[in-house]
Amino acid sequence: MELKSVFINGAGRLRSGWRLAVFVLVYIIFLFLLTSAVRVVYATLIYFAPVVRSGFYVQEVVYRLIILTSSLGAGCVCARILEGLHWPSLGLSLHVGWFRHLLVGSAIGIASIALAAAIATAGGGLRFTLTTAGIFPQIAKTLVLSGVLFIVAALAEEALFRGYPLQTLTRARLAVLGILLTSVPFAAVHLQNPNVAQGFTFVNTALAGVWLATAYLRTRSLWLPLGVHWAWNWALGSLFGLPVSGITRIAPHPVLQGTDLGPAWLTGGSYGIEGGLACTITLVISTVFIWQMRLVSATDELKRLSSQENPKHGQAERPLVITENVHLHAGQQHDC
């Protein structure tokens, strides 16, 4: 067995598992450097202008922008150095149909949360009332500001989870493994949110990871999952007036005021509908719909950039396979 073959595949590239590990390391470095820089800038600003203080909204936007920049920066570095690929491979280029993908995704996100709310309401778990008249300016402000934050937050999470990590494993023809390895951490980070619903929070968020990964695989672009993701959160908090993953501060003046009547296993309780069975059912239905729909599709260029390894010598990646004599040689399947 050659040591080189443990790290390098038949296409002359670093194996996908190692590429994923390198991405995580580079992401952490970017995150540390950017966070440190922002803290220095903020400390300097406070020193020279003590009256200036950042509120919850600004802090959230800046935090998400740091994650977004770190994710895209690490993705660009890894795609270029490890695979010889450029920006379009990350799925955020303005390719043919990108805006249609975003619009279709947004419509699916709003329709999906409406379905979840309808299921919970039909089960007697939710009641909605129109927000008191006379505060239209506050409602409009909520719709706009929350929309900006939800777009930035969704873009950051898509770049981190459905960006390079899922994409590099998909190129190695390990999309199913990629979905698993991105959906579980996606669910795990949400366990830090307030009012977590035992069991349902993790399961539903992992299902949401599968849902969003399916949207990526359907188009090989991040515009569709971005639309689905931001619109779901925006409609949930700003239209229906329900907690978004346990958080209520983002949309203080929603269009509707949602009242949770229970049971928590259906509605999610104080965590919001994402912690209940109504959400579980909706995510399954919406995932199947996204995979089967014909409203959008991947361009030939995106398929080329995401469906196979980018070989140095014109070969497809071939992993190591253990034979009966316990010798390692090149096989016909792709690496893991």
Q: What is the pLDDT averaged over residues 89-102?
A: 97
The pLDDT value given to residue 65: 98
Which residues 6+ apart lie within 8 Å of 107 measured at CB? Answer: 227, 231
The burial class, CB within 10 Å (0-12 / 13-18 / 19+), for 13 is buried
Mean pLDDT of 72-101: 97
pLDDT of residue 113: 99
Please compute the mean of the pLDDT values over residues 304-314 and round it to a whole number: 73
Domain ranges of the chain: 3-330
Residue 314 has pLDDT above 50, yes or no: no
| Average pLDDT estimate for 81-103 | 96
pLDDT of residue 311: 55
DSSP state, residue 96: T
| Integer Rg of the chain from CA | 22
Residue 334 reports pLDDT greater than 50: no
pLDDT tens per residue across span 167-183: 999 999 999 999 999 99
Q: Place 51 in a pLDDT band, splitting at 50, 70 and 90.
A: low
The more confident residue out of 46 and 88 is 88
pLDDT band at 134 (very low <50, low <70, confident <90, very high): low
Q: What is the pLDDT of residues 1-49, one digit of tens each?
A: 577 778 888 888 999 999 999 999 999 999 999 999 999 999 998 888 7
Residue 63 has pLDDT above 90, yes or no: yes
pLDDT tens column, 241-269: 999 999 999 999 999 999 999 999 999 99
pTM of the model: 0.89
| pLDDT the model gives residue 133 | 63
Average pLDDT over all residues of the chain: 90
Query: For residue 309, what pLDDT band results from cuts at 50, 70 and 90?
Result: confident
SS (H, E, C) the chain: CCHHHHHECCCCCECHHHHHHHHHHHHHHHHHHHHHHHHHHHHHHHHHCCCCCCCHHHHHHHHHHHHHHHHHHHHHHHHHHHHCCCHHHHCCCCCCCHHHHHHHHHHHHHHHHHHHHHHHHHCCCEEEEECCCCCHHHHHHHHHHHHHHHHHHHHHHHHHHHHHHHHHHHHCCCHHHHHHHHHHHHHHHHHHCCCCCCCHHHHHHHHHHHHHHHHHHHHCCCHHHHHHHHHHHHHHHHHCCCCECCECCCCCCCCEEEEECCCHHHHCHHHCHHHCHHHHHHHHHHHHHHHHCCCCCCCHHHHHHHCCCCCCCCCCCCCEEECCCCCEEECCCCCC
Q: Is pLDDT of 77 > 50?
A: yes
Cα distances (Å, whole numbers) of residue 186 to 154, 189, 202:
12, 6, 9
Is residue 329 helix, strand or coil? strand
The one-letter amino acid at 23: F
